[in-house]
A and B are shown apart, each in its own frame.
Chain A
Amino acid sequence: MSAAAIELKDLNKSFGLARIIRGVDLSIGRGERHAIIGPNGAGKSTLFNLITGKYRPSSGSVHLAGTDISRLNPYQINRMGLSRSFQITNIFPKMTVFENIRCGLLYSMGYKYSFWHLVDRQPKLTERADEILEQINLTDRRHLIAGVLTYAEQRALEIGITIAGGADIVMLDEPTAGMSASETDYIVDLIRQVTEGKTLVIVEHDMGVVFNLADRISVLVYGEIIESDAPEKVRASEKVQEAYLGVAEEEAD
């Protein structure tokens, strides 16, 4: 184990006067399944967007396997082996399911900006895309336009696109949001299966999913990490009960 997969050092982000992320320090080891939880508005998605380069930090830094990536663009970070999904389903709705996956593969398979290959004549590319379709159980949806898939299928497709590039670090933003219990189980199994051996960072509301999937949980409240530990310990922590689970109960009322 050399450098951690992801390391956040005194990370801050303000929008105007609002300090959304306040001095976050976090280290996520290789192969770890790390969940970030917290009440609404705690800054989970902002933290996600800071790590993936969508936002630039106001101060502090983000390191990927020891390299500072705080000033890089999303595509550069992606090329370093970090891939993400989005809270709102983010696929290519007008393309077929197959083409969605193929787009996820192009860069990592070395095609980059090529204008001298014909995509339909690359057997390896097609083969690999079909393998991923098989993995996410969408083989029979191969020729459908992605926009017509069911919500759960679109989420599965998004996970497929996210892992297609072979990234070692996979970040999923609320992958089960808005799903029924059975759909959730299905997606959780899928995530477990396709992220085997990879570093997984997941933002999630569903506590069942979190405790089921994660090796370690960080609790984010008002832009600060108040606890970062194994699931049982987080569940037992009084601080967390007070700050987060208490809030959740209030919300439920």
Chain B
Amino acid sequence: MSAVSDAEAARRGKSGLFSLAKTAPWFIAAVLLICLPLVFNSGAGFTVMNQMAITIIFALAYNMLLGQGGMLSFGHAVYMGLGGFFCVHLMNMVEYDGLMLPLPLLPLFGGLFGLLFAFIIGSFSTRRAGTVFAMISLGVGELIASLSIIVVAFFGGEEGVSGDRTMGPEVAGFDFAQQSEVYYLTAAWLFISALAMFLYSRTPIGRISNAVRDNEERAEFLGYSQRYVRWISFCASGFFAGIAGGLFAINFEILTEENLNLATSGSILLITFLGGVGFFLGPVIGAIVFTLLQTVLSLYTEIWALYVGLLFVLTVMFFPSGLAGVIAIHVRPWQLGKIGLLAAPYLKMIVPAALFVFSCAAVLEILFHARHAALGEEEMWLYGLTINSQGVWPLTIAIAIAVVSLIILKRLAPSLKEAWDEANHQETGS
């Protein structure tokens, strides 16, 4: 739909550099970023929001490769991590060597270092797409992660490198000691980076990056070197990953091997896929959901990573276009004005679905507690109840609820399917 209006606007030539339909989402996003601290004004709230913003930038940068360019990287933490390490060192130079670098500009330098390393490594890794690229990215990722333990002078070994963000010159009276100040700094960079990445996808190189993803041979015969196209995309992605790294350095004031290693590279792939690689907003959704699970769920359960893994596997299996894809399939019923048809079946299913999820989680939690709690410690807390994890009944009840709710869900499924088909059906002649 938007393609139509875009094209119409373009045909008219001069019309709407600031057309309402296109700028409204960005305006709303800006207002949201400004107003969020009014709601979540606790320390924990800022921690989560800052982390979320950083992850969003990183995920969007990663999707420039995966979604836009069709390049599967297993080592993209390298560019965020290196950007971050250089920023911590810059912060220390500000503190000890009197370097006059205002803190808000630091992420830009993170970006430039990310760009530099993407330029160097991309010069050979982007020669080929597909498996070759993926394998080189994996190798380089491991290489840099290992280097970070060996080259202690730069990477600080296992303790990493830490700094102090408040030692720089004050900017307009802010010394960035407060988390809220860091939040606004991060949010500003998030907004700028996201907008820049969005516009990038609308440039000739952005479009050709899609073309090379879809059909590299055809693109070659249109005058484009597939290698240079991939290399440029890789550099752009490295730049924005480096910005995320700089913000990480500001926010956490420490970088370690963990920022470069395979686990971090893997989770950004997971986040991007979870959100949906085919949509600009996909990585944003993925980053928000993942950060929430990581920070909030981990307060309640030790096996949060298992739930994240399950969510990932289920999403990939049933909704390969990610969470954004789940939202996108509702656009058509919405446009047909039939979204209301789905409300009743959804409402009917929400209770058994929740019961099913929570009872399955209960089974996992009880089993985990039974196996891992200290000897003799049989009591556990679950959903506000004190239960005996060694007993037979709690497990039996949890399984029974799971089975019953699953049966109810199965019974309700046909009515949802029917409503779904109806909601997507366009009356002929309308």
Residues of A within 8 A of B (CB): 52, 54, 73-75, 78-79, 83-84, 86, 90-96, 98-99, 102-104, 106-108, 111-123, 126-127, 130, 142-143, 161-162, 164-165
Beyond A78-B223, A126-B11, is A115–B203 a contact (Cβ under 8 Å)? yes
Q: Is the pair A91, B223 in contact by a Cβ cutoff of 8 Å?
A: no
Question: B426 within 8 Å of A by Cβ?
Answer: no
Identify which of B10, B222, B225 gathers the most chain A CB atoms within 10 Å of its CB: B222
**Contact partners of B208 in chain A: CB under 8 A:** 103, 106, 113
Residues of A within 8 A of B4 (CB): 143
Give the complex CA separation of A164 and B225 in angstroms: 17
Rounded to whole angstroms, the CA-CA distance of A111 and B3 in the bound complex is 21
Whether the pair B218, A91 counts as a contact (CB closer than 8 A) is: yes
Return 23 A-B CB contacts under 8 Å, by A number. Answer: A75-B223, A75-B225, A90-B218, A93-B214, A98-B3, A98-B7, A103-B208, A103-B219, A103-B222, A106-B207, A106-B222, A113-B204, A115-B200, A115-B203, A116-B203, A118-B203, A119-B203, A120-B7, A120-B9, A120-B202, A121-B17, A122-B10, A127-B11
A115→B214 contact, CB < 8 A: no
B211 touches A103 (CB 8 A): yes
Cβ B11 vs Cβ A108 within 8 A: no
Task: List chain A residues, Cβ under 8 A from B9.
Answer: 120
Q: Is B210 an interface residue (CB 8 A)?
A: yes
Nearest-CB distance from B219 to chain A (Å)? Answer: 7
Q: Closest residue to A84 on the B side, CB-wise?
A: B221
Taking a contact as CB atoms under 8 Å apart, the answer to whether A92 and B221 are in contact is: no
Residues from chain A with Cβ under 8 Å of B206 in the complex: 115, 119
Given contacts A75-B221, A106-B204, 5 further A-B contacts (CB under 8 A): A84-B221, A92-B218, A113-B208, A113-B224, A143-B4
Cβ of B214 and Cβ of A104 under 8 Å apart? Answer: no
Interface segment, B137-145, B228-236, B392-400? B228-236
Q: Are the CB atoms of B11 and A75 closer together than 8 Å?
A: no
Once bound together, how far apart are the Cα atoms of A106 and B210, in whole Å?
Answer: 13
B6 contacts chain A at the CB level, 8 A cutoff: yes
B208: min CB distance to chain A, Å: 6
A-B pairs, 9 with minimum CB distance:
A107-B223, A111-B204, A74-B220, A123-B13, A78-B223, A92-B214, A75-B225, A114-B204, A115-B203
The interface residues of chain B lying within 8 Å CB-to-CB of A103 are 207-208, 211, 219, 222
A116–B199 CA distance with the chains assembled, in angstroms: 9
Give the residues in chain B near A165, CB-CB below 8 Å.
222-223
Most chain A beta-carbon contacts within 10 A, residue among B11, B17, B210, B220: B220
How far, in angstroms, from A111 to B224 measured CA to CA in the complex? Answer: 11
Query: Is B205 a contact of A107 with CB atoms below 8 Å?
Result: no
Set of chain A residues within 8 Å of B207, measured between Cβ atoms = 99, 102-103, 106, 119
For this complex, into which size category does the number of interface residues on chain B fall? Answer: 35 or more
Contact call B214/A95, Cβ cutoff below 8 A = yes
Whether A92 contacts B202 by the Cβ 8 Å rule is no
Report the Cα distance A161→B23, complex, angstroms: 32
Of A54, A74, A93, A114, which one neighbours B205 at CB under 8 angstroms? A114
What residue in chain A is nearest B213 (Cβ atoms)?
A94
Which of B233-252 touch A at CB < 8 Å? 236
**What's the Cα separation between A94 and B207 when bound, in Å?**
12
Counting CB contacts under 8 A, is B215 at the interface?
Answer: yes
Residues in B whose Cβ lies below 8 Å from that of A113: 204-205, 208, 224, 228-229, 232
Which residues does chain B contribute within 8 Å of A84, judged by CB atoms?
221
Whether A95 touches B203, Cβ cut-off 8 Å, given contacts A107-B223, A126-B7, is no
Whether A118 contacts B199 by the Cβ 8 Å rule is yes
Query: For residue B203, which residue of chain A has the nearest CB?
Result: A115
Contacts of A94 in B (CB 8 A): 210, 214
Given A115-B206, A120-B202, is A78 in contact with B214 using a C-beta cutoff of 8 Å? no
Contacts of B224 in A (CB 8 A): 75, 106-107, 113
In the docked arrangement, what's the CA distance between A142 and B208, Å? 19
Chain A residues within an 8 Å CB radius of B222: 75, 78, 83, 103-104, 106-107, 161, 164-165
Given A92-B211, A126-B7: A117 in contact with B223 (beta carbons within 8 A): no
0 or 1 for each of B1-31: is its CB under 8 Å from A? (1 = yes)? 0011011011101000100000000000000
Residues of B within 8 A of A108 (CB): 223
Query: How many angstroms from the CA of A120 to the CA of B9 in the assembled complex?
Result: 8
Residues of A near B223 (CB, < 8 A) are 75, 78-79, 107-108, 165
